[in-house]
């Protein structure tokens, strides 16, 4: 019993699906990265929202708070709640910059 993310092969957009009922539900999201970040941000399992409008309202709240990553070379677009870089792009940026002088 789980909530999974289904991704459209044509446009990459994603939605939640219930593995028990085989029913898709909730908002249509930009990508699997956005759907994953939204599911991790939610305090409850997405299936716990009995009223689909409650889940859609939470999506709107998340979408207004999250920002696409603006990392190196235009960013990867992964949603992030802090600053402008996702964790992966922040690590890549630090590796490119290198350690500060004397920090060896």
CA-CA distance, 62 to 37, in Å (whole number)?
Answer: 9
Q: What's the pTM?
A: 0.74
- How high is the pLDDT of residue 97? 58
pLDDT at 88 over 90: no
How many helices (H) and strands (E) the chain has is answered by 3, 5
- How high is the pLDDT of residue 74? 61
Q: Which residues pair with 23 in a beta bridge?
A: 18
pLDDT at 71 over 80: no
CA-CA distance, 65 to 78, in Å (whole number)?
Answer: 13
pLDDT: which is higher, 10 or 87: 10
Average pLDDT over residues 77-102: 65
pLDDT at 95 over 70: no
């Amino acid at each position: 019993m789980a909530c999974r993310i289904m991704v459209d092969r044509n446009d990459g957009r994603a939605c939640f699906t219930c593995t028990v009922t085989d029913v898709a539900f909730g908002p249509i999201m930009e990508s699997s990265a956005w759907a994953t970040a939204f599911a991790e941000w939610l305090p409850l399992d997405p299936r716990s929202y009995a009223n689909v409008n409650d889940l859609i309202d939470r999506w709107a709240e998340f979408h207004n708070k999250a920002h696409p990553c603006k990392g190196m070379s235009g960013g990867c677009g992964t949603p992030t709640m802090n600053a402008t870089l996702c964790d992966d792009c922040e690590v890549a940026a630090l590796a490119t910059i290198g350690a500060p002088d004397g920090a060896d």
